[in-house]
Amino acid sequence: MPHTLRSDARDNRERILSVARTAFAAAGLDVPMREIARRAEVGPATLYRRFPTKEALVTEAFAEQMTACTAAVDEGLADPDPWHGFCHMIEKVCALHALDRGFTAAFISAFPHAIDFTATRERALRSVAELARRAKAAGRLRPDFVLDDLILVLMANSGIRATSPAAAMAASRRLAALLLRGFSVEPAAPPLPPAVRLPLLPLT
């Protein structure tokens, strides 16, 4: 019986996280906790027992994405060519965020009590700042680039609305290429990735 209870609790936890990731990816972080409990087919008490706050749920739901984001920044720092590393970081981070609006919303949100998430994000941003400093010192990144520009990149990237995940990724690659041209000191640049036909949003 104890093993069965532990198995049920584990299944409930994984189902809650799966539902939360899907809901946040589709609609951002405004999805109510009770709605997540309903979709996961658990009671609100079960949800709050596993995740006392939405911050706790968001932190756990996007742990893998945050790890991947940090890895992309670390890869950029490890590149001996700081401009190439900077471009690699922007491209990888845009691709990561293109498929998950929930992660973008979480990354740019203020979560004062989500200590692990906030601390990891701050470390990633400090690493981005160091990578940008190196690219500027190499004379490749325009000197007026600031860290807030990365937040603008993420906001713009999260606004992509495409008909399929493949189209979203293609659009993200083109957006990243356009933005990197703007960030570069040198106007000459390689050809852009192919254009993507995106649906127009209906007027409301």
Same-domain check for residues 57 and 69: no
pLDDT digit string (tens) for 12-41? 899 999 999 888 877 778 899 999 999 999
Do residues 161 and 198 touch, judged by C-beta distance below 8 A?
yes
Tally of CB atoms within 10 A around 69: 21
CA 125 to CA 107: how far, in whole Å?
11
Tokens found for residue 28: 């951002």
Q: 141 — phi, psi (to 5°)?
A: -95, 135
pLDDT digit string (tens) for 130-163? 999 999 999 999 999 998 898 889 889 888 888 8
Asked, for residue 107, whether it belongs to a domain, the answer is yes
Same-domain check for residues 50 and 116: no
CATH number at residue 82: 1.10.357.10
Same-domain check for residues 25 and 79: no
Residue 184 has a pLDDT of 93
pLDDT digit string (tens) for 98-135? 877 788 888 877 665 666 777 888 899 999 999 999 99
- Residues 6+ positions from 3 with CB-CB distance below 8 Å: none
pLDDT digit string (tens) for 46-101? 999 999 988 889 889 888 888 999 999 999 999 999 999 999 999 999 988 887 77
Location of structure tokens 């993420």: 154
What residue numbers bound the domain in which 123 lies?
63-183
Q: Amino acid identity, residue 150?
A: L
HEC profile of 64-96: HHHHHHHHHHHHHHHCCCHHHHHHHHHHHHHHH
Same-domain check for residues 164 and 179: yes
Same-domain check for residues 20 and 76: no
Same-domain check for residues 85 and 34: no
Residue 114 has a pLDDT of 62
Same-domain check for residues 46 and 122: no
Helix, strand and coil percent figures for the chain, each rounded to 5? 70, 0, 30
Residue 3 has a pLDDT of 47
Same-domain check for residues 117 and 167: yes
Asked, for residue 145, whether it belongs to a domain, the answer is yes
Same-domain check for residues 95 and 144: yes
CATH number at residue 24: 1.10.10.60
Same-domain check for residues 100 and 129: yes
- Please choose, from the candidates 67, 35, 33, 63, the residue with its C-alpha nearest in 3D space to the C-alpha of residue 50: 33
Asked, for residue 190, whether it belongs to a domain, the answer is no
- Please choose, from the candidates 122, 144, 116, the residue with its C-alpha nearest in 3D space to the C-alpha of residue 60: 116
Question: Alpha-carbon Rg of the chain, whole angstroms?
Answer: 19
Residue 134 has a pLDDT of 97
Using DSSP's 3-state secondary structure scheme, residue 188 falls into coil
Q: How many domains does the chain have?
A: 2
